[in-house]
A and B are shown apart, each in its own frame.
Chain A
Amino acid sequence: MPIILETKQITKRFGELAAVNNLSFDVNEKEIFGIAGPNGAGKTTLFNVISGIYSGSGEIDYFGERIDRLRPFQVCLKGIARTFQIPTVFSTLTVYDNIRIGAHFGNHSLNEKKIINDVLEFIGLTEKQHIEAKHLPLFDKKLTMLGAALATEPKLILLDEPIGGLSPKEINESVELFKRINNELGITIIVIEHLMKVLMAISQRMMIIHNGEKICIGSPEEVARDKQVIEVYLGAEYA
């Protein structure tokens, strides 16, 4: 599998604190790559650096091309979309117009309407397309945010704790959706998730970070056996 994303020694500091510290890893095309780590480990900051919201040091290559100096909208136009840990939607706009933002600004395709309708269909919100986003329940907000990202027709999507706060039923639906995004749409996924069981079930490979540093990377089985991971993250129950 060719490499879609390669980070080389990226670091992001907030004053004294190195929220992301000298982090290097590769993501293969078409895989689901899981990221886990304790609260405050630097996972969200990593996404913010990749997507251009923060600028850090180090190098980020996307299909071999440097993207670490690009602004967020340029990163998006390259084909990298993302969702946010705290679900954000354009609250005064309808679901349709939320998706339209991605389809219009993040996508050079001329067939905006078809993309929006396809996305609505895919995330199952066709019926609710005329509702103002601020009136949506949490799950639908998350779907809308995901839909807007999908409407940019990305090759790589970054999902930041996408199932946090959801019911078991909604979690199952989400996981199915992520698998379809990966299988049917052929989109590479990097997903941050707290629930190790879910993450291990969907990831081909995963990385554990702690204090901004990589402590382990590999298949779910390898990660689950790693001594350091058990120590700092998984705790006694896995030992």
Chain B
Amino acid sequence: MVNNLLKNLSRIGLLLLLAILPILFHDNDHIMNIIILCLIWGVVAASWDLILGYANLFSFGHLSFFVIGGYASGLLAKYIGLTPWLGYIAGGIAAAIIGFLIGIPCLRLKGMYLAIVTFSLNFVLPTLIVWAGPGKFENFSTGGSWGLTRIPAPSLFGYVFTRQELVPWYYLSLGFFIMFLSIIYLIIKSNIGLAFIALRDAEPQAKSLGVNEYKYKLLVFALSAFIAGSAGAYYASYFSLISPASMNLDVFLIVLVMVLFGGLGVFPGAAIGAFIITIVNELLRPTLEWRLVILGTIVILTMMFMPKGIMDILALLGRLMKRILNIRRSSKSTPA
């Protein structure tokens, strides 16, 4: 009872806070930009957690799907004139197709081997992007190592989103975030999510109970890639830029830290981790190259002392709150 009440109250409180954030920070572009990034990375981290935490597949090429989504939508917008709205879907579909194709050879791979194969995407994809740069293709040039620039922003009822006004971008990002987190939540709670969890907890048993492991592994590759790809398309339209640098090793590490710190397979831990790590990462900017060392230390400490990441802390806080509430109530009901 108390537990449910607390949960619902904290949910409503969180949503209210998110809804009124711009009132506090609307004239500070720097902070608004960071909050928008929190929302975008929240989607990316949560989609990675779907395959890493829920399906327990060591997919370490997840940022490729993010970048593929960005390029697909960016190229279609620039050269064919596809609207960014459709670009968000097209970016997702492009990433899902690649995710599906990469999933096929990965079906029989496990653990380390799967990690190595998928991790190599982080080197293959940037090379391909640079190769397909200026001079290679007249139309559809990726822009090479500079990246694809001047990707158009969306417009709504005649209003064109612009980097000069971040409040509209903020609300759009919030909508994007809520939509994809709801989708991820629904996947986890559906029979599809049940299959992921079954294969994670006890694969031979799941298979012997009728779970078609190939189907669900391909599905989780495609679904998580779709969401990352759509987030990549969104990111590209927000910065009007996508480049191979978006999947640099330090970005990879930071997003991995988000997921691990948020907690593997404990929705919405990864998204919360993304919020915290995005902000911490920003605060650590003055420390320059020490930033990665500090983030690495956070991961090691997390893995050692709270394997479920931030969700362990939240559970602890929840228990504490409950105890305090109970103490209050019992001190009220028993006359002194």
A residues sitting closer than 8 Å to B (CB atoms) are: 51-53, 71-73, 75-77, 81-82, 84, 88-93, 97, 100-102, 104-107, 145, 148-149, 151-152
Contact: B209 with A53, CB < 8 Å? no
Interfacial chain B residues near A51, Cβ < 8 Å:
208
Q: Which of A75, A100, A106, A145 contacts B194 (CB 8 A)?
A: A100
Question: Which of A52, A71, A92, A101 has a CB less than 8 Å from the CB of B209?
Answer: A101
Main DSSP-derived SS at the B contact region: helix
Contacts A97-B194, A100-B194 given; indicate if A90 touches B206 (C-beta within 8 A). yes
| Given contacts A90-B201, A101-B198, A82 and B208 within 8 Å (CB-CB) | yes
- Residues of chain B at the chain A interface (Cβ within 8 Å): 191, 194-195, 197-198, 201-202, 204-213, 265
Known interface pairs A84-B204, A104-B191; A152-B197 also in contact (CB < 8 Å): no
* In the complex, residue of chain B having the shortest beta-carbon distance to the beta carbon of A108: B210
The CA of A83 and the CA of B201, in the complex, are separated in Å by 15
Q: How far, in Å, is B189 (CB) from chain A's closest CB?
A: 11
Across the interface, name the chain B residue whose C-beta is closest to A80: B208
Which chain A residues lie closer than 8 Å to B201 at the CB level? 89-93
- A52-B207, A75-B208, A92-B265 are known contacts; what are 20 more A-B pairs with Cβ within 8 Å? A73-B207, A73-B209, A73-B210, A73-B213, A84-B205, A89-B201, A91-B202, A92-B197, A92-B201, A93-B194, A93-B201, A101-B195, A101-B209, A102-B209, A102-B210, A105-B191, A105-B209, A105-B211, A106-B209, A106-B210
Q: Of B194, B202, B212, B265, which contacts A88 at CB under 8 A?
A: B202
9 contacts between A and B (CB under 8 A): A73-B208, A76-B207, A76-B210, A90-B197, A90-B206, A101-B198, A101-B210, A105-B195, A152-B210
Least Cβ distance of B218 to chain A in Å? 14
Nearest-CB residue, chain A, relative to B206: A101
Q: How far apart sit A151 and B205, CA to CA, in the bound complex (Å)?
A: 13
CB-CB under 8 A for A76 and B197, given A53-B204, A89-B202: no
Given contacts A53-B207, A76-B208, A88-B204, contact A104 B197 (CB under 8 A): no
A76–B198 CA distance with the chains assembled, in angstroms:
15
Which residues of chain A are near B195, meaning CB under 8 Å?
101, 105
CB distance from A221 to the nearest CB of B (A): 33
**Shortest Cβ distance from A106 into B: residue:** B210
A81, A90, A92: the one within 8 Å of B208 (CB): A81
Docked-complex contact A71 and B207, CB < 8 angstroms: yes
Find chain B residues with CB under 8 A from A52 CB: 207
Q: Look across to chain B and name the residue whose beta carbon is closest to the beta carbon of A75.
A: B208
Closest CB in chain B relative to A148 CB, distance in Å: 6
* CA–CA, A51 and B204, complex, Å: 10
Instruction: Say whether A90 contacts B210, CB under 8 Å.
Output: no
Give Cα A57–Cα B127 distance, bound, in whole angstroms: 45
Q: Flag if B210 contacts A93 (CB, 8 Å).
A: no
Instruction: Tell me if B198 and A93 are in contact (CB < 8 A).
Output: yes
Residues of B within 8 Å of A148, CB to CB, are 205, 209
Select from chain A the residue with minimum beta-carbon distance to B205.
A88
Residues of chain A within 8 A of B213, CB atoms compared: 73
- Highest count of chain B CB atoms <10 Å: which of A77, A82, A105: A105
Q: Is the CB of A72 within 8 A of B194?
A: no
Instruction: Decide: A73 near B205, CB < 8 A? Known: A92-B197, A93-B197.
Output: no
Give the CA-CA distance A84 to B213 in the complex, in Å: 18
Task: Determine which residue in B202, B208, B211 has the highest number of CB atoms from chain A within 10 A of its CB, and name it.
Answer: B208
Query: Are B198's CB and A72's CB within 8 A?
Result: no
